[in-house]
């Protein structure tokens, strides 16, 4: 594993542990809430894009593209923590899936 990879998964593990210590709902409800949190984060990306492009006439330009970047990072973090909630083997599950998607996508020939 490369150093950034270890840092990423170490941080995911720490965040997952902290959330496990502080969550109010356990079992299936806790898992569902953690997965549903992704929808909230994606909504914040959409809000930031609308704000960065000024497409809300009432608010005008209320966000920056750096805000969008931060919100996208929140989506990734939330997804990885949700994956870790589903399985302690999240790193391996993600690596295998990324490999399959990459291989499949790069195998497709363009027009």
Give the pLDDT confidence of 65-98 residue by residue, as tens digits.
999 999 999 999 999 999 999 999 999 999 999 9
The Cα–Cα gap between 94 and 17 comes to 19
Tokens coding 54: 């000024």
Confidence of residue 2 (pLDDT cuts 50, 70, 90): low
Q: Is the whole-model pTM more than 0.85?
A: yes
> Given the structure tokens 């399985």, which residue do they identify?
87
Check if the beta carbon of residue 65 is closer than 8 Å to that of residue 45.
no
Give the pLDDT confidence of 13-69 residue by residue, as tens digits.
999 999 999 988 888 898 899 999 999 999 999 999 999 999 999 999 999 999 999
């Amino acid at each position: 594993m490369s150093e950034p990879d270890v840092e990423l998964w170490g941080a995911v593990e720490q965040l997952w542990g902290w959330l496990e210590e502080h969550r109010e709902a356990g079992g299936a409800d806790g898992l569902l809430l953690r997965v549903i949190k992704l929808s909230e984060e994606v909504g914040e990306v959409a809000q930031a894009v609308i704000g960065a492009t000024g497409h809300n006439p009432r608010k005008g330009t209320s966000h920056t593209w750096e805000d969008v970047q931060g919100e996208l990072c929140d989506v990734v973090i939330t997804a990885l923590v949700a994956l870790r909630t589903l399985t302690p083997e999240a790193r391996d599950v993600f690596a295998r899936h990324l490999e399959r998607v990459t291989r499949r996508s790069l195998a497709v020939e363009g027009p």
